[in-house]
Each structure stands twice: as C-alpha cells, then as structure tokens.
Chains A and B, each alone.
Chain A
Amino acid sequence: MFNARDKCAIAGVGYTQYSKKSGRTVRSLASEACLKAIEDAGLDVADVDGFVSFNFNDSVPAIAVATELGVPEAGYAVDFLAGGNAANLIVLNAVAAIQSGLAKTVVCYRAMNGRSGFRLGGGRQMAAHGITQFTAPFGWITYPQAMAMWCRRHMIEYGTTNEQLGSIAVTMRNNAALNERAMQRQPISIDDYFNSRQIVDPFRMLDICLESDGACAVVVTSAEHARDLKQKPVYVGGGAYGGGPQQGEDLFDAIRWPDHSHNYSKYIAKDLWASAGVGPEDVDLALIYDCFTYSIVMQLEGFGFCKEGEGGPLAASGAIARDGDIPVNPHGGLLSEAYIHGFNHVVEAVEQLRGQSGPRQIKDAEIALTTAGAMTCGSAMVLHS
C-alpha cells in the first residue's frame, strides 16, 4: 500500500491550448506544458531532474522534452507504455522516485495530437496478432466498441439506462460551459443526447469522449520543498494502482475478467482510502476518468460513493453536478473539456484545491479524488490542500 502520505506535493501545473488540430509536433506541445508547469511552480528548468510520462506509441519520450528544454541533469526520465490507466500512476511514480532519492523534482506530463495525429478511438491494423486474433476478426476493434460491452453488462445486472448515461453527458457539458479551456462549451439537453448518432449500442456519440490535441503537466516535489515555492502546495495524500484478477493480455482484452459490470476501481478503492486516511464521504470533488459516460457510473460504485448498481441513479439524481453532494469533473471532463488521456483531471484537481478555478470553482474544495482508467487496471489519488 502507498505509504508516502503527504510526503510529496504538486507544486505547479501547465497546459497548452486543447484543440482538434494543433498544427504542432507532440514534442512542442509537451515542452510547452512542462515549461509552463515549471514556471507556475516558480522554478527554473535547472531545478528539475526528472520527467515521467505515458504514451500509446503516440507521443515523445521524456528525454525529448528534457533535451528541448535544456534541462542540465534529467537523471530520471521514464516513459510508461500505457493507456489512461497510467494518468495517476505517473504522479505516484514521481512520488516513489522522490521518496527513494532517485529524483528531487519531477515533471509529469501527457502530450498527444489525439485528433489530428494518432486517434486512439480509431481502427487497428488488419492482421490480428496475439490476443487481438480473438477480438478484431469479429469487427470488435475500437475502444468505444470495447467499453460498450462493459456498459451492457451493467445494464443487464443493474438496469442502468441511457437516460442515466445521458444525464452524465448533460452535466459534463454544463460544467464545461464555465471552463474557458474546454473544447465543447455549448450546453446540451437530454434530447440532444438521444438525438446524437448511435455509434455502437448502447453508446451514442455523446456517450463518447472528445479527441484532442494538447498537453498538460504537473511538477511533483517533496512537501518540504513545495512549501517554499510560489503556489499553495497540493499534497499527494494517498494513491493506488492496480486491478483485479485476469486483467487480460492487453488493454482491450478483458475476455477473462470476472464481470464487466465492475472495473479496477472496486479492487483498488480499499487501499486508496486507507493510504490517505479518508473516505469517499470526505471528498469535496471527484475527477473521475470519463472516457465514456458509463465509466463514471462504474467508478462511483467502485470507489464507494454508492453501492454496486446504484451508480446510474446516483449520477442522474444531480449528486454529481457542481452543486451536488459529490461534484464530478467541474471542468467538463474528458467528455467536454478535452481528452488528454485523463491527465487533465489532475491539472483540474490542483487548480480547484488552490482555489484558482474562477467561475467553476467548487467552494471550499480541500480534498479531491482523481481517478484514471475504466477497464481492468487503473490508478487513483487523493489530493488535498
């Protein structure tokens, strides 16, 4: 279990414009976000000695950013080949590096041309090797198609409805309307949801997250160091990474997973809350990985905001709205702000906990949950001011 409660803190955040077509290299986007995060912390590139990122063969390695920015000693440069499940893991990895002495101050980032370059939601190569030979030949190819299979299981087990999923899409869009960096700010109604194109039952277009070009970054350092810097520190209170049994042979495959009506969150919640010394009832806001509307439902249940099967009704009750009991994704989430593979959730959590979120600020936000992942494996953190 994570045993570094409050030993490290996030001292800076940075992000680029989120767009459909950046017209820039992924390295340039990564460097901009990292440089802004370093400056936000009140640091110089010479104060940084580590970079940690994750990619899907669609980005640049950490050393490329360190090289472009002229970091004198980037001794700790690490890349995870992973999906959104790593979007909190990279911060936990930075904490581990700092705690072990491998690094002192680490920049974590995710950068991608997710719309104009490599599209994660797109097809795959036509020769199906390895585990893919038991999925792709049947036209089961894209992540929306993968996740729809999970959502269906939840509908079968618990009666979750498209009305409930639609209410999540509407809530996220309403939140994004207050967010100047969100890519989709035009409010939608439940009718708009039902009128949006059916992509793969049970998902419509508005169940599916955006595709985005952009990058975001945070600076992680020791709590002691963070207290001397420019911004109010946001402490890493707790964290967890993992999943359950039979996670599969790649991120898509989950044929042997016990039951797709629940995901990784059910398996890591206990360690997460224990490591932080708080529970779901203590959280002021939650940044929940919403690659699809449905993934919020599963994680509300898995992280203990409600019982299994009650995530749909809870989400539709208004509880996840900005003025609800557990505000979720006040920036509009991956559904409406941008899809920077879930790392934009960490940036939003930090700004909220610093009280810097302007018109979308959640009042008196002191403790936030951030989550990353939707399927068999994921990571999560408890951050606090």
Chain B
Amino acid sequence: MGYEKPLPAPDPETEPFWNGCRDHKLLIQRCGSCGTHRFPPTSYCPTCQSGEVDWVEASGRGRVFSWIVVRHPVPKEVYADDVPYTVAIVTLEEGVRMVGNLVGIDPDRVTADMPVVVRFDNVTDDITLPAFAPAGA
C-alpha cells in the first residue's frame, strides 16, 4: 500500500525547504535585507518588504507553543492506526513557528514550553517530513 496521508506539493517558494528536509536539514528563510527569519516561506519580507531571501539552516531546537492530541481520526481510514497522535506548533530558536508531529513522547505527558529537537521522517522517496521529539530523549 502506498502512502495515503496528505503529502506536501512543493512549489517555487517552498521547494528549498522540502529539499532541505530530504537532506535532513531544517531550512528557513532569512530576509536578505533586514535579517529577519521567517517561516512558512514567502516571496516578500513582512517586516521590510524586501524580496531578497537567504535560506539558512535552523538549529532544529525549539519549544512547544501549543499542541493537540488527535483521538478521533479524520479521514478515518487514513489515520485509524495513528490515533492518538500529537500535533504541535513549535517555536524555533530563530523565533519562527513550525507545525509538526511530536514523537517519542506519550501524548499525555506533553507540556507547554517543553524543549524539543527536530527529527526527520522519510515518508516517501521524494518527501521527508520534519517532526519534533523531546530534547535529550
């Protein structure tokens, strides 16, 4: 059986990020003019409106900003074997937020501000998804 969950469809703005994930590197944008980090990727800097962009490797460390525990699978046939699973918004050290699954921890033990580090999950030949695990685990 193939991979049935939603897969990212990289576009000209996001391709560097997904290529980075495939190399197990967490890349985010940094404004070439004012130096502000940003994610998700965009063409223009919301701080200074510059179109100059550098891609830089993030440390991969962050903290849990918010999280949910999915117990009822939707679509049912796709996620039935995964529940309960945890989705978190993580604030990276660079100041941007990123969504990912929290792995390597019991969903009931997740706490706010918990330090996490990135992990990479090669879900298909082309796509690697970032995930986060408790730091030091």
- Which residues of A pack against B, CB within 8 Å? 122-142, 145, 148-150, 152-153, 156, 197-202, 246, 249, 255-256, 260
The reply to whether B11 and A148 form a contact with Cβ atoms under 8 Å apart is no
The reply to whether A255 and B99 form a contact with Cβ atoms under 8 Å apart is yes
The reply to whether A141 and B74 form a contact with Cβ atoms under 8 Å apart is yes
Give A251 Cβ to nearest chain B Cβ, in Å. 16
The reply to whether B5 and A139 form a contact with Cβ atoms under 8 Å apart is yes
Closest 9 CB pairs of A and B: A133-B8, A201-B69, A136-B6, A148-B68, A123-B75, A156-B112, A199-B72, A128-B6, A140-B87
Q: Which residues of A contact B7 (CB under 8 A)?
A: 126-128, 137
Q: Which residues of B contact A122 (CB under 8 A)?
A: 74-75
The reply to whether A152 and B74 form a contact with Cβ atoms under 8 Å apart is no
Q: How far is the CA of A134 from the CA of B98 in the complex (A)?
A: 8
- When A134-B40, A139-B82 are in contact, do A149 and B72 touch as well, CB less than 8 Å? no
Q: How far is the CA of A141 from the CA of B5 in the complex (A)?
A: 11
Q: List residues 35-74 of chain B with CB under 8 A from any CB of chain A.
A: 39-40, 46, 65-72, 74
Q: How far is the CA of A198 from the CA of B71 in the complex (A)?
A: 6
Interface string of B1-19 (1 = CB under 8 A from A): 0001111111100100000
Q: Which residues of B contact A126 (CB under 8 A)?
A: 4-7, 78
Count A/B pairs, Cβ under 8 Å. 105
Q: Which residues of B contact A129 (CB under 8 A)?
A: 9, 11
Is B129's CB within 8 Å of the partner chain A?
A: yes
Q: Which residues of A contact B14 (CB under 8 A)?
A: 133-134
- When A139-B79, A140-B99, A197-B72 are in contact, do A127 and B6 touch as well, CB less than 8 Å? yes
The reply to whether B10 and A133 form a contact with Cβ atoms under 8 Å apart is yes
Q: List residues 91-137 of chain B with CB under 8 A from any CB of chain A.
A: 97-101, 107, 112, 127, 129, 131
Q: How far is the CA of A129 from the CA of B6 in the complex (A)?
A: 10
The chain B residue with its CB closest to the CB of A202 is B68
The reply to whether B68 and A153 form a contact with Cβ atoms under 8 Å apart is no
The reply to whether B40 and A255 form a contact with Cβ atoms under 8 Å apart is yes
Q: How far is the CA of A139 from the CA of B107 in the complex (A)?
A: 15
- Which residues of B pack against A, CB within 8 Å? 4-11, 14, 39-40, 46, 65-72, 74-75, 78-79, 82, 85, 87, 89, 97-101, 107, 112, 127, 129, 131
CB contact between B6 and one of A137, A149, A150, A200 (< 8 Å): that residue: A137
Give A105 Cβ to nearest chain B Cβ, in Å. 42
The chain A residue with its CB closest to the CB of B76 is A123
The reply to whether A200 and B68 form a contact with Cβ atoms under 8 Å apart is yes
Q: Which residues of A contact B89 (CB under 8 A)?
A: 149, 255
CB contact between B99 and one of A138, A142, A197, A246 (< 8 Å): that residue: A138
The reply to whether A149 and B75 form a contact with Cβ atoms under 8 Å apart is no
Give B57 Cβ to nearest chain A Cβ, in Å. 18
The reply to whether A134 and B68 form a contact with Cβ atoms under 8 Å apart is no
Q: Which residues of A contact B66 (CB under 8 A)?
A: 149-150, 152-153, 156, 260
Q: Which residues of A contact B131 (CB under 8 A)?
A: 138
Q: Which residues of B contact A140 (CB under 8 A)?
A: 68, 87, 99
CB contact between A138 and one of B10, B69, B101 (< 8 Å): that residue: B101
The reply to whether B8 and A128 form a contact with Cβ atoms under 8 Å apart is yes
The reply to whether B99 and A133 form a contact with Cβ atoms under 8 Å apart is no
Known: A122-B74, A141-B74. 18 other contacts (CB 8 A): A123-B75, A124-B6, A128-B8, A129-B11, A133-B8, A137-B129, A138-B87, A138-B100, A138-B129, A149-B68, A152-B66, A153-B66, A198-B71, A198-B72, A201-B68, A201-B69, A255-B39, A255-B40
Give A209 Cβ to nearest chain B Cβ, in Å. 15
Q: How far is the CA of A138 from the CA of B88 in the complex (A)?
A: 9
The chain B residue with its CB closest to the CB of A203 is B68
Q: Which residues of A contact B127 (CB under 8 A)?
A: 137
CB contact between A152 and one of B5, B67, B70 (< 8 Å): that residue: B67
Q: Which residues of A contact B74 (CB under 8 A)?
A: 122-123, 141-142, 145
The reply to whether A200 and B72 form a contact with Cβ atoms under 8 Å apart is yes
The chain B residue with its CB closest to the CB of A129 is B9
The chain B residue with its CB closest to the CB of A136 is B6
- When A122-B74, A130-B11, A255-B97 are in contact, do A137 and B68 touch as well, CB less than 8 Å? no
Q: Which residues of B contact A148 (CB under 8 A)?
A: 68
Q: Which residues of A contact B99 (CB under 8 A)?
A: 134-135, 138, 140, 255
Q: How far is the CA of A125 from the CA of B101 in the complex (A)?
A: 19
- When A138-B100, A199-B72 are in contact, do A127 and B67 touch as well, CB less than 8 Å? no
Q: Which residues of A contact B46 (CB under 8 A)?
A: 246, 256
- When A138-B129, A140-B99, A255-B97 are in contact, do A200 and B70 touch as well, CB less than 8 Å? yes
